[in-house]
Every structure is written in C-alpha cells, then in structure tokens.
Structure 1
Amino acid sequence: ERKIDKIHIPTNCLDVLAQQIYGICITEKMHVSELLSMIRQSYCFNSLSNEDFYSVISYLSGEHVALEDRHVYAKIWYDTETGMVGRKGKLARVIYMTNIGTIPDSTGVTVKVGPEVIGMIDEAFLERLKRGDIFVLGGSTYEFLFSRGTVAQVRAAVGRRPTVPSWFSEMLPLSFDLANEIGRFRKLIREKFEAKMSRKDVIDFIHSHLYVDENAANAIYEYLREQYDFALVPTDREIIIEHYLDEEKKYAVFHTMFGRRVNDCLSRAVAFVVSKTQKRDVEIGVTDNGFYIAAKKNIPAARALSLLESKRFDELLNLALDKTQVLNRRFRHCAGRSLMILRTYKGHKKRVGKQQVSSMILMAAVKRISKDFPILKEARREVLEDLMDIESTKRIIRMIENNSIAVKSIDTTIPSPFAFNLVLQGHLDMIRMEDRIEFLKRMHKLVLAKISLEQGKKGTDEDTKKVYAEIWKELEPDTEYESTKTRLIRQAWNLKRVPMFAKKEIVRMLEGERTGIRKDVIEAMHHYKADIEKNWPRDLRLAVFKAVKEVEAGEAV
C-alpha cells in the first residue's frame, strides 16, 4: 500500500542551540538579528521563536546571577545597546572543543540495599522507576526507594510480585502509524467475525492482506478469535478498558493500540488524574499494545480518561512529569549539551555520578529562577516529544472528545488474551523458563474453558477464577530459597579486593549458570583458596566452591 512510517525530527532544541550560538560567538562577533536569521535557515530551527532565542542568549551571557553560586558562568557577552554578541573568557575555545557533542555520557547504575551493593541496572531502566516500584534483579525482587547520582537505593521485597517488567533497552517502540494500521486490521477481522464468516474465509483474507504463511495466518486467526469469543476485540476506533481483579489488587487494562510512545503519555496522564482524584498512588505498566493502572481499590478508569482535555494536556503532563526520574535524567543530558555542566575542564573529566548530582542541584536553582528556564524547558520537550509522542496523544484525545473513538468498559475474572501479556509481564520474570511454558499452556486452557463457559457449556465462573489462583500459587518461587540466594548474591557484590569481572562471574554461578564461566576466574578460586577460606562469609564460600566443582565437572564431560 506504499505506506511509510512518519519520521520524527526534533525541532527547536534549546540545548543544541546554546552550543551552536557559543561556537559561532567564538568564531566571530555578530549582531543578534543576523545570528537569529542564520540559525533560522536550518530546518531544525526554522520556527524558532524570538522568546526562546533571547532566553538562550540571556542564559549564555550570564544574566542569571544566581547560577554563579552553582559555578555556571557567562560564556558570551551581549551588548543590549548595539545588539552585538561575542565570546567571553580566554578558555572559550578549549571549553567548547572538549565539551561539544549531543550524545550524553551514560553509565550503569549501582543498586544498593543500605551500604551493600547487590547489582547494576541500565540508566534507561532507572528512568522508568518511581518510589515503591518492585523489580527483578538477579532473580530476586526489590522495592525502589530513591536514587542519588548513579546509585539507586532499594530494599528487599521477598515474595512480592514485580510491578515493572524486565528491561529490553534495544527494543524499538512500535510506531504510531504502524499501531494504527494494526488497529484497522483488527477492525476488519472483527467485522468478519461479526458477519459469521467461516474460518477458511477469514484465514484466506489474512493471507491476502498480510502476505504471511499458513502457520502465521492460523496463529493470528486463533489469537484474534479467542479475544473475540472471550471479550471484545479493540480497534483503532474503539478503546476497551478491561477491569480485572486478582488476589492483591485491581487492574484497569487500557487496550490502546497506539504504540508505546503514545501509551506512555496516556498512562502517565490517566495515572496522575487517578492519583489526584483518589488521593492514592497507583501502579503503571506500559507496552506497545496498551497500558494498565493498578491499585488496591476500585479505579474510575473511564472517568479519568474522560477528564483529559486536549487543550490543557501539555499542562497536565508537565505536572505529571515533575519530580520524576525521567525528567531528572534528561535534564542532566540537556545541561551537558548546553555546557551548563562541563564534562571536561582543564583536563579533568567529571564522572557521570557527579554530573547527575550537579544537575539535581542546578535543576532546583533554575526552577527558582523560572519554570520556563530554557534548559529545563528543553528537558521537558525532550521527554514529551522525543521519548514520548505528545502530539499524537493529543490527536487521540481530540478524537475521544468528538466521539470519533469510542470507549467501552468490560469486567473479567481472568485476563483476556490481549491483556494477559500486559498484566503479567512482570510476574513472569519470577518464573523459571520451563515453568513459564507450562504456565502459558495452562493459562491458555483456562481461557478456552472460560470461552466454553460463555457459550453455555459445563463449569462455573468461580471454577476458572479458583483454578487461576491455584496455578499462580503452584508456580510462585520458594520465598525461603529466594531470600537465601538474595543474601549470597548481595555478599558476592560486596566482596573486597575482588575485581568487578570476577564478581559478575561469581553472581552468574550463584544464579545457577554452569556454562560460559571464565576459566581465569575458576583458576583464581583455586589459587586464592586460602584467602577465600579466611575472609569470605561461610555460606558464600561453600556455595561458590560447590558451583566451581559443578562447572569443572560439566567441562570435563
């Protein structure tokens, strides 16, 4: 059909603008009107407003004296009478050449329980966390408390189910355009189900529409048919809100096939409305196909969605993002690009952790100056336009407002096929791979049983609910074993005079891996056996030496 996804080119990036103005001023003195005219010749800045341009000039010329207390000094001079700008300081060229670039410094984040190190997580994963979130690290669950610099403080959450799924940093989000096409395809298939077309005719249509083989066409048919028989198939013109209750909390699953960037916007906005109107924190989960809000009490999901207004959506999301990890981290990136934080100065390189701490102090300082300080404004723009997709989200909200998109609510006793992966994505991280396959098979049978029940066959709704709870109970990990394993891993991360690469291999062995362990680490275990016997905790050394023997036995075979 010759459809190509739209590309997103960031425009009016004020941190990059600050960097470019500084570079131009180092090269030559120039009148501000001439400078603005030259900058607007770039596609990325062709719609740059006078207000944003002069706010960056004010920042670079050091008009905000309060920032000097935070060691942010003027980089250019600006004569308001003549309108000329030029470089300031003898080290201007050196500072510029050693700090330019748009790719931010990144690093792993150390996870600690008190003073003890228990592992590392990706910085992009930290952006998704908020206080109280439960996540899996090294096969054990932890509750996120707060972060400082590149250290995240957590506490053990043994026996509690994760609220945040494992992180796949390389996975690209589903685009808004492609998501809409999938929604339209769902609508076509749903219409064929409603017209009671035969299985063969529907599969033939899938073949002709998607150009897939027999197996793929059959899988798509079964997946959509089970969702249709179980509940409703959401489309690009109909959002389904599925209310589902498990043993611990109540879920409102939003089947919004609009892509992860739009769903991220919608989920934060809906969660913010619910938390403010209900005066309680809620849990969020986001995927390409939808999102969920979870809490211990009833969630007025449809009402919260109806309260969103396209005209005031920017304002609402700015409030929702305030004090979040994602805004804090993005502000550091923007402060680095705009030379507010110098990554290198006089040959000394500032570590990422120190940059983050500096950015937090600076963020508090610029908020006191103005909520629309150019670098803070840019951090918000980067989150809302680059990381998320606020324009497409506002388009969806406008369509809901004028009834172009319908919203329906349903209640289920077990998650529908479409909701299953969304609700249970974090929970599945706690199940071993063999058990996970078995669990999925049994859950599939349970869905089919529920469909049979709906169609008037034997069984009761309470039976399916009871079986669902029993399946979870059987497969949940042994908490006593998990707490022992957690303690040993924590002790391994905190071993003194042991290189980081060796700690990683030791942790892998404690997690049950017996292949691909570095030989030099195994050899070092034997070489330093006397020191290990003397200095390591008893349970840890016994577990590690047992694992070493198993690794060697496996290699011998």
Structure 2
Amino acid sequence: MTARPGAQLLAVTSGGTIPDRGMYSVLLPEGEEQAGSRRVGELDEEMVYESRVNDIITLGATSWRIQQITRDQVIVAPAPGRSARLPFWRGEGNGRPAELGEMIGDFLHLLADGAFFSGTIPPWLAEENTIANIQGLIDEQRNATGIVPGSRHLVLERCRDEIGDWRIILHSPYGRRVHEPWALAIAGRIHALWGADASVVASDDGIVARIPDTDGKLPDAAIFLFEPEKLLQIVREAVGSSALFAARFRECAARALLMPGRTPGHRTPLWQQRLRASQLLEIAQGYPDFPVILETLRECLQDVYDLPALERLMRRLNGGEIQISDVTTTTPSPFAASLLFGYVAEFMYQSDAPLAERRASVLSLDSELLRNLLGQVDPGELLDPQVIRQVEEELQRLAPGRRAKGEEGLFDLLRELGPMTVEDLAQRHTGSSEEIASYLENLLAVKRIFPTMISGQERLACMDDAARLRDALGVRLPESLPEIYLHRVSYPLRDLFLRYLRAHALVTAEQLAHEFSLGIAIVEEQLQQLREQGLVMNLQQDIWVSDEVFRRLRLRSLQAAREATRPVAATTYARLLLERQGVLPATDGSPALFASTSPGVYEGVDGVMRVLEQLAGVGLPASLWESQILPARVRDYSPEMLDELLATGAVIWSGQKKLGEDDGLVALHLQEYAAESFTPAEANQANRSALQQAIVTVLADGGAWFAQQISQRIRDKIGESVDPSAMQEALWALVWQGVITSDIWAPLRALTHSSTNTRTSTRRSHRARRGRPVYAQPVSPRVSYNTPKLAGRWSLLQVEPLNDTERMLALAENMLDRYGIISRQAVIAENIPGGFPSMQTLCRSMEDSGRIMRGRFVEGLGGAQFAERLTIDRLRDLATQATQTRHYTPVALSANDPANVWGNLLPWPAHPATLVPTRRAGALVVVSGGKLLLYLAQGGKKMLVWQEKEELLAPEVFHALTTALRREPRLRFTLTEVNDLPVRQTPMFTLLREAGFSSSPQGLDWG
C-alpha cells in the first residue's frame, strides 16, 4: 500500500476530528488588542449572513461595530453605549440525560404535592418571593391541565393553533436524547394516519406536533404509545432520512477526508459543505455497507440518541408504571410556553421570504403542465456545437490543462475513462513515451492494472474493473489477479455504459456497440433502462447523453450565448419598443416630408384588433385610448372601428380605477382570450350599496340590459323606482370595481367629454386661466336614462379564470409581445401577481425549453432580462443602424403610453431644470430614434427639451408635437416656460409658432 499524491497534504490541512459547526471567530483589528488575544468570541454562520458592515452587535457586556466580514472571521471594534442587536446561535446542545430528567420529574411531583415546602427548604429557595413564584407557577399549570406533569405522570395537551389545526404538546421531563427518537416514530405514525407532515419538534421538556383538523377526530395519547421492540426498529429505519443523520454524515465525511477544502488554511462555508455532503450522501446511500454510512448510524443511535432509556420509558408506559393523561385546553398552559417558543424558532427560517413573495406563495406553478404548455423542444437544439467540442475535450482529458501527470495520473485515466490502448493514454498524458512506458510497467508490476482484449484491441484496464468487464463483456482475465477483485458486480453493463457516457459529450448507440463489441439491440435495451431511471437523455434520433453532462452542456451553452450578447444602449430599446408596438415602421430610412408623415403602421379594424391584442389588460386612462393610444398606432383610426369591435363582442372593456370625476383606468381585452388578461374583481359585497348589490343581482340572471331596463327589473323586485342619477352613480361605481361593463364605448366618451358626435355643435366654455387645459363641455341637462353616460347594454364581467400556471404563462407571453423583454421593471409596471421572483421562475422554465434567452441585453434594464432570439437579433440590428443613421422621424406620444419606456421601464434622462417629468394623463413626449427630445407637462404650461442645439432647431420635432395635440380638439393651454426660461427667450419660440402655436402676452397659446 502506497500513499497517493496529495494524501499527506490532505491529512495535514483538513480539519481533523473537530466538526465544523459553522462558527465565525470574532476578532479585534490587528494591533488593537490591549493584552492577550485579539479573539472576542464566536458568531453563528446564519447570524453573520444576516449582518452587514457597520452593524452594532452585543457580545458579552459590550457593544461592537462590525468593520469587516471575511471568509471565516468578523472584525469588530468597540462601540460603547450604542444600541445593539443581540446575536443568536443555532447550535445543538447535548440534551438532558434521562437520569437527570427523571430527577427533575420527581422534583415536580414534590412541588405539586406540597411536600417539598413542608420540609427543610434549601437556602437558595428560602426567599419568600421565590417560594411564591414557584407555587404560583405550579398552581397555574394545575389549573390549566388538571395535573402537573412529572416523571411518573406525563401529560398530553391539546389546543388549537392560529389557523385552527390541532397542536399537541407532550409534557415529559426525560430529555431530548429520549424525545428525539420518539418524535421520529410519532411523525411517521401521524403521517400514516393523517397523511400530513406533523412538523414534530422535540426538546428537553417534551414534544410538540401539529395535526390538521380534517376529520374532526381528537388526537389522543395512543399515538405516543409503541411496543418497545417495534419502536426501536422504527427509529433505526427512520433515522437515515432525518436532518440529524444528514448533519452527522457531513461531519463524519469531513473527518474521513472525503470533503477536503479547496484551499488549505481557508474555511469552506457551511452551506457549501452541506451541498457537497448531500451529494455524497445521495451516492453513498446506494451502498449500505459504506463505512461512513455505518459510522453515521452508530453515532446517531448511540452517541446522540439514548435508545436504552427510550426502551425503558416505553416499557414503563405500557406497564402502567408511568401514566399518560390527555387534556384539551383553550390556550397553551404555562409549561408549554418554552416548548412553543422553541417550536416557533425551529420553523421561523423556513418561511423567511419578503412579504410580497409570501403573498404570492398561493401562486403555484405546475411543472408538468408548464412543460406541456411550453411544448417539447428538442434539447439538442439548445446546445452550442462549439461548447459540445470543448466539453468533449475536457471530459476526455484532451484539453490543455486537463492532461494527466505522473504515474497516479495515468492510473486515474483508466479509472475515470475506462480501458484504453497505450496510444490513447499517451494522447492524454504530459509525459514522454519512455516515461509512460515506465509508469505502466510499475502499475502492472504492483497489479493495479492489467492487459485485456476488448473489441479486438489490446487495452489496459484498472484492476477495479476486472469483475465488471468479465461479467458484462465476457473478457478473459489474467489468472494471477487477486481474489478481492473477482467478486461479482450487481450491474456491470450499466456501470460501463454510465462511465462511458459521463466521459463523453454526446454518444450514439452504434458508438457504444463498437466500443464494447456488443449487439445494437443489447445496447439500445440498456440505454432505454438508463433513460427510465433518469440517468441518461435521448436527444435527436440516436444521440444519447448523461444527465450530468447535459446539465453541463446546457449551462455552458447558455453562458456562451449570454457572453455573445453585449447590452445595447437604452435608446436602442426605446426605438425597438416604438417599432414593436406599431408606432413606427420596422425600417426607418431618411426622413420624409413631415407634412405627408402619418404616425402608426396599422390600418382599419384589423389594425385596431392587433393593437388591442398587444395591449390587452393594460390599464390606461379612458381619455387617452381614442385621443392618443389608438391614433398613434392606427393611421386611419376612427371611433367607429372600436364601436364595431365592441358591438360584435370581439372586444370587451373593464374599469380598473377611478381617476377624479371624469376619467379612470380602463383596460381592453379580446373576448376570446379575456381570461389571459382580465383580473377578476374581488367579491367584496360589504362595500357595495344596496342599489349596487341590486344591480349585480339583476345582471347575475344573465344577459345584457339597458340602464332603464335594469331600473325596471329592480322596481319589479323591491317595488321602488330608481332615480337616474342614483343609477348612474351606482353603475359607474361598479365599473371601477371591475364588476360590470357596457357593449359600447359611448359611456366612456361621455365621461371624459370626448364624444365625437357632438364636437361640431358643442359650445365652448369661457377661457380658463392661462396654462390650464380646458375641454369645452355641453350644457348639462337634467340626468335621464337617455344620458350618454348610461348608454349601451350593461352586463356582468364574467370570465372563466385560468389556473395559476396557465395564467402566469399567458402574462409572460403578453409581456414578451408588448415589451420584447421581460425585466424587473416591466413586471413592476404590469403589477404581476407574485412580483419578479414568481415571473423569473417561469422564465427560467421557458429558457430551459428554448423559448427565450436570459442575459443582459439592454443597459439600465437590470441584470435579469428574458427575451426571444428574434427580439435580441432585432436589437442588434437597431444598434448597428444607430451607428449608420443620423436622422430619424420624430414621433409624439402620451407620456403614459406603454410604447414610451421613459419613466417606466427606464428612468427619465437627467435634466438640469426644476421640472420633474412624470407619466400623467395629458403629458406628452417626443422621441426620435429612441432618444427623448421633448416633454410637455400636464397642463401645457412647462416644457423640457433635452437635445443639442442642432437637433433642437429641427422643425419636425415640433410638428410631431402639434400632430399629437390636434388629436384633442378641445384642448387649450398657454405654454410659458421651456427649460425654466420664458418661452419667448428661447429658440423654440419661432419654431413652435411655425408648428401651429399662436403668440400671446404670456407666451404661446394652443387651441
């Protein structure tokens, strides 16, 4: 037996027999120690992860300021007198011995009987207040449970928790070493009886469990009683899947040098040790006689658990020597306080999520349904050919830096890659042919390798493979092999196939058949078995890959794709969004004459339908839909187009929020796909008036009704007529609750005073004060059922909801259509349920299926961005075009328009003026080539201009602004300031007059 290279270094640098419990040393800065050590104390790893530099913590009687947090140390400085956080430690205690627990139980019996205080009282208990406090606690416990628990009488307490389930508390003094194995058996029994996780927690003073109240049956003491022999058997079987076993296995594996640190002298974080240990445990569980597994079992069952004491306790319970009583309480008893405190602490960090994520926890994604919805994409299409070649070279040890060195390296090649010829070994080794020959001669002499014939080739094989090659391939073995290498192997062919697959990127069945000289039918049958076990994957046709290798290929391919994409400027994305939402055409050449330029790329009713499909579910002010949003995209838009879609039922509208007395957020939906974009209103009947509830009741019978018909049906039911004014107020209240809708747009036009059929005959009101927009309003007649605000037939908004997975997928696809890129800002703007974490989970599944890619495509849009490949390619094209094109057609939009990225997906560009731009109804922006040129504030009094002088003086910019203003014929205002200067003192004064503004003493008038 000889030591392998590095074995001595590993033994010297590893941690030894002291387990790493994840403690960080707390030290003073170098040179600041007064006398003695710099060491102040220790902190738990989780406490350190929740701390930041400059936090104030308490250790001992002193407050300390954290100056630095390193890999394994916390550097602190004194901070006397400062308010500080108390540290916490989640370390494990040894638990109370059963003998001490029985003595404590006897003491409790003496206290309960009153015999203790009738005799000689120890001096430390002789104070009057002490005696009163103890007697008061005992009396309170007796009043709560009827019996004071002790060594000869255990108490099972039942009470309801905050959500109505049963919380059962066993009061027992026998210590955690007895209670923990007992709790394992109890958890298994509760799961078998109730089918739920009991969340059982054991402590020195008892056991706490939670049982769902499903069948009304009261849990009693019977669930705690077992036959002693059966109980020990249950514990031995259950301990292997417990958290204790996983923790002790990590420590045993570290002591056995199975988890060496990467760098000597540096501590490996505890969470990384846990990950490595869990992977090692997953492999080791397939070998029940693995020494570390056996040692972990021995440590748990003998060192941690006190099974003999548990057996004695169970015999005494079954024999009646110790009694157990059950009692139901309305609130936990005094003795239960410490038990429940520990119970809460045990599960506190399992739900350590922000409030938004906790609220979104009800939004569960069905992974199987998601795969079906996304479709089955050929995984091979997701892999980069260059990455496949690189990984193949790395796995085969052919890549630079991966070739073996020395004699042990040569042996490792045969052990990791399987039998090979001398020529194959030479390609993967850095030594000369003479050195390799010498190494092989030594390995053959000590019987670590042996020669054999496979597929007609003379190869060298590792001695560990002797029985495997004999049993799987029938090769002849040398007669001189030691007996220990000749024991039969359980799955020899599977082992050979798996090693070969894990040593290659992609493999075909023919390749395996040739490698091992087997029939193709045998190879395919074995591959199918491995596939059913989840160990390999079948890609295109006859291409196979190990699941581990595929994950490596997939991650490397994604990384290569992300690195190949450099983020484009924010203005490029702004240009893409204008193009994507139909505001500008996909190609933008030299500027055309502005007089002939008309915004929007869509036409007719079909164009309106396409716009509403893309903006489905987006809540925008009702006043903007027909004045800015639709005309900006549909060049020949007229109100009749929207009326036609609503009248035919192809489109429906829903109210979302009231904005003042004459506007509100309204969303439009395609009737066929309304479930994908419509969010049903919460049925909050308590906030509805009697009339509102009566309207809902009438409409719930089905159909759509005119307002006067609804009034008549209410009168038939309650015998009272409804005033038109009250009906109008109630209907619109239900509109903004998202409960009802109308089959025409006329009520919204009347609400926002934009009814096109009265524009020519409407008298204008008096001119308002300068700088404020004024809409001419018709003379208000007495409200009747013929008022436009009550026009059309009203009905309930009834949309069959989708399940969480389908709904979230539909939202993601809508966002990709609308914005091109799913980002954190876009999710916030859309108010997606569950926020970005929930959407990110779905996007990763879409990424795995090949639907989208993740990367950083746009500057300033955050680190996690998801987009389709075609969108990414178009971004690149636009970025290239930006370097070649100087002139773009300016376009004016509402600041609220989803096609305007500024102030929504991207921050407003900086400007030295005092005016802060906002996305409000009435505000306008002018964008050219994605660059923000101009912002007209709500009310029209102030304006911001961003660009250089040459671009400022382009008349097209101001013509674009006036084109947008002309969409609102009743709009009147006076512009007084541009960039904090009087408009008359700026170069824009003349250009704005030429574009259509008129001069006035205060500035420039519009309208």
Q: TM-score range by the shorter chain?
A: 0.3 to 0.5
The TM-score normalised by the length of structure 2 is 0.26
The structure with the greater share of residues assigned to helix is: 1
Larger Rg: 2
The TM-score normalised by the length of structure 1 is 0.45
